[in-house]
């Protein structure tokens, strides 16, 4: 949490993680929140591809989530 936009942008840019958050709950890191549908499994490996690989399989993404203090309600 910070109000300093420059510090937040530097943090978002330099952290080596698949999901980086600024002023929002980390509970938004669910596959459904990103529009990927149900999660089948979770891996902590850097590479998830198996078998023949090309550029698409070797590419990883970083999701930068910005907010204004949003939280995610717990399940009922």
Residue 74: pLDDT band (50, 70, 90) is: confident
30, 21 contact by CB (below 8 A):
no
Residue 10's pLDDT is: 95
- pLDDT, one tens digit per residue, over 14-70 is 998 888 999 998 888 877 788 877 666 566 666 555 677 778 777 778 889 898 988
Residue 53's pLDDT is: 75
17, 62 contact by CB (below 8 A):
yes
Q: How far apart are CA 30 and CA 48, in angstroms?
A: 17
Domain range summary for the chain, segments of one domain joined by +:
1-37+55-76
């Amino acid at each position: 949490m910070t109000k300093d936009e420059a510090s937040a942008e530097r943090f978002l840019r330099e952290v080596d993680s698949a999901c980086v958050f600024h002023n929002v709950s980390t509970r938004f890191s669910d596959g459904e929140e990103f529009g990927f549908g149900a999660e089948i499994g979770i891996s902590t490996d850097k590479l998830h591809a198996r078998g023949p690989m090309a550029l698409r399989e070797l590419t990883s993404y970083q999701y930068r989530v910005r907010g204004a203090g949003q939280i995610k309600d717990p399940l009922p």
